[in-house]
Amino acid sequence: MDSTLAMIGLPVALGIIMFGLGLDLTPGDFARIGKRPKAVSIALICQLLVLPAICFGLVLLFRLPPVLAVGMMLLAASPGGTMANLYSHLFRGDVALNISLTAINSVIAVLTLPLIVNLSIAWFQPGDMTVGLQLKKTIEVFMIVLAPVCLGMLVRGLRPGFARAMDKPVRLASVVILTLVIAGAVVSNYAALKEDFLALAGIVISFCVLSLGIGFIVPRLFSINRKQSIASAFEVGLHNATLAIVIAQSVLMIPDMSLPAAVYGVLMFPMAAIFGIMISATRSSSVSLE
């Protein structure tokens, strides 16, 4: 991928997506977390602790090369995005819970993402810590993750009419940008991707299935209602592939590290749709049996 595009274009593209996310958020979304602490806590534990541990196990199982291994951990550390809200809406989840989880995840990721990436680099590449997310790069992550979200929230607070009018155009732009970023990452790293695609496809599908499954089953085990469990499933199961690609290419400047996120970005859409259809079918079956 052209260096100018990686350094400027990708962060701008991600900024537009995160700005659109901010247009959907209000301070009330953060306050709402206190009204459903159990559902939020379980989803966050799955997202922040369980998934990185599972991803680490999968990386060891599939014996990925160090750069791709760190790329998978970067993907696992990335928060959910706007697509989680969309899928939750389509399959009758608690979208308000999704919005609340996305809000808090976007804040927490500024701290947890650099930590997980640094630990991954220390494990898989112990002799080369120079590519780690040190203070300067951590600030860059903060700027590309949280600053556009805060700006979007500010615009919504000051100009709610404008925010409502921009909702659909920004959502559409976000989907288009996401598609272009993933396509660009695939094309620019095609040679490396062709060599590692089978290994990456296997681990990405496994990770996606486990993420969605854990996000749904664990809340149900703790007596969280079905709508909130569906919201948790998509929030935990659908990671922000664009963020992982931008950090790999623009912050860490290691294009090959973006390959897991690129493959994931392609496969997560049908996987999430299949998962949604399956849980809808199980609900229909349970209702008919009653």
Q: What is the mean pLDDT of residues 204-208?
A: 93
pLDDT over 80 (residue 94): yes
User: What does the alpha-carbon distance between residue 167 and residue 276 come to, in Å, rounded to a whole number?
Assistant: 24
Closest to 68 in 3D by CA, of 199, 232, 215, 212: 199
Q: Look up the CATH architecture of domain 3-279.
A: Up-down Bundle (1.20)
pLDDT, tens digit (0-9, with 9 covering 90-100), for 244-272: 888 888 777 788 888 898 888 888 888 88
CB 269 within 8 A of CB 239: no
pLDDT band for position 221 (cuts 50, 70, 90)? very high
Q: What pLDDT, on the 0 to 100 scale, is given for residue 281?
A: 79
CA distances from 229 to 151, 221, 226 (A): 30, 10, 5
**pTM confidence score:** 0.77
- Poorest-pLDDT segment among 125-129, 194-198, 253-257, 261-265: 125-129
Run of H or E including 173: helix 160-188
Highest-confidence range of 24-38, 118-132, 159-173, 258-272, by mean pLDDT? 258-272
Paired residues of 80 in beta bridges: 239
Q: What is the CA radius of gyration of the chain?
A: 18
At 229 the pLDDT is 93
pLDDT band at 286, cuts 50/70/90? Answer: very low
Which residues of the chain form beta strands (DSSP E)?
Answer: none
Q: What is the pLDDT of residue 32?
A: 66
79 vs 140, which has greater pLDDT? Answer: 79
**Which has the minimum average pLDDT: 29-33, 104-108, 222-226?**
29-33
Closest CA relative to residue 46, chosen from 179, 171, 214, 204:
214
Across the chain, what does the average pLDDT equal? 78
Q: What are the sequence ranges of the domains in the chain?
A: 3-279
> What percentage of residues in the chain have a pLDDT greater than 90?
20
Is it the case that residue 62 has pLDDT exceeding 60?
yes
pLDDT value at position 131?
46
Check: CB of residue 245 under 8 Å from CB of residue 261: yes
Residue type for 59, please?
A: V
Q: Kindly tell me if the per-residue pLDDT of 127 is higher than 70.
A: no
> For 156-193, how does the pLDDT look when each residue is reduced to its tens digit (9 = 90+)?
888 888 777 777 777 677 677 767 766 766 676 666 56
* Least reliable range by pLDDT among 50-54, 113-117, 125-129, 210-214: 125-129
pLDDT of residue 11: 65
